[in-house]
Amino acid sequence: MPSIVSASTYHPPHIVEQGQTAAFARELFKDDFRDIERLLTVFQNGQIQKRHFAMPLHWFKHDHTLQERNDLYIEKAVEYGTEAVKQCLKDDRFLRYSQPAEEIDAIFFVSSSGMATPSIEARIMNQLPFSDGAKRIPIWGLGCAGGAAGISRAYEYCLAFPKAKVLVLAVELCSLTFQRNDRSKSNLVGTSLFADGIACVLMVGDDAQVETKRPVPSILKSASKLMPDSEDVMGWEMKNSGLHVVFSRDIPVIVRTWLGEFVDAFLGKEGISMKEINHFVAHPGGKKVLDAYEETLNISSEKTVHAREILSSFGNMSSPTVLYVLEQFMLDDVKKGDYGLMTALGPGFSGELVLLKWGETA
């Protein structure tokens, strides 16, 4: 089965402690909410300690046009994405030998926080020696589900082309969408939660020639699911000033009532249950979402340790976040035969599941 043989992450340069963002939000929103101090507890209660941004905090104190934001998105996405790809192709934590960019057959580029035509992966192909025949598959609009969905689509590609070597590159610069004149509670919550991140994964088909240093996860199956008529749960609202976050307070409730049946049906078709899942590779949408995962799937807090660590250190970076979690599991001393379940939820409202099984080194 197609395997994930390398994973890398790139951390944007500006580190902001959660206390700093809380103080920033207090100053910005204090005249708009009478209960501002109560609302600001979301910064303390979200289990986020720090986040990485593409721009320094003082940049967010001023208005910026949509063009200015998007130009920055393109510039930084190309810069950071190039570095993540370079690291992924040579990462000696996983790979015995570096993989030449010329041998990559396809690039799945995942993002929802900026717009570019030609898309970002085309611009990165001009920075690195990729073959001009490499397939380009940009995926836009899946938000937090995008990282897992990118893995799913690359898995299907590798099934069709067993000799393929494929990159999944997820780049989100959520901070550049910040709307300082949006006084909604959704924007306040988003200010406490979202961050910037970049992750790249190298996947190979069964007949690709790649040697790894440690056991790697193969993909057994994937599934997607859409909740009908749920467009208002999560996403963007496009206005003249840019992208405005749509973020329903009901998301943890939806996880509790909707995800369990999806997971049980998916695993049941493969003849296994959640009790047999050793490694829960979850997108940490937020503390309440992780709590809901544990409750609805009847799993212990031990299963969400990596997800909570990533949330604490990086916040919710949208699509790359689940790949940050995957990287941590790939660095663990995982046993041959262990099962993993990757899960992520995003706009639609939708879910993506990927069933993993660790095997020998490739």
Which residues participate in catalysis according to the annotation? 144
Cα dihedral 59, 65, 68, 74 sign: positive
Q: 342 near 281, Cβ under 8 Å?
A: yes
Rounded to 10 deg, the angle between the 287-297 and 305-314 helix axes is 170
The candidate with the shortest Cα–Cα distance to 108, out of 152, 72, 174, is 152
For residue 232, what are its two tokens? 């208002």
Give me the residues paired with residue 108 across strands.
137, 168
Q: Which two tokens stand for residue 65?
A: 């046009």
Q: In which residue are the tokens 């040579």 written?
A: 90
- Please report, to the nearest 10 degrees, the dihedral formed by the alpha carbons of residues 258, 173, 194, 356 taken in order: 40
Q: Which residue has the tokens 């989100």?
A: 172
Residues contacting residue 189 through CB under 8 Å, at least 6 positions apart:
42, 247, 249
Cα separation of 84 and 73, whole Å? 16
Structure tokens at 41: 């507890």
CA distance 316 to 313: 10
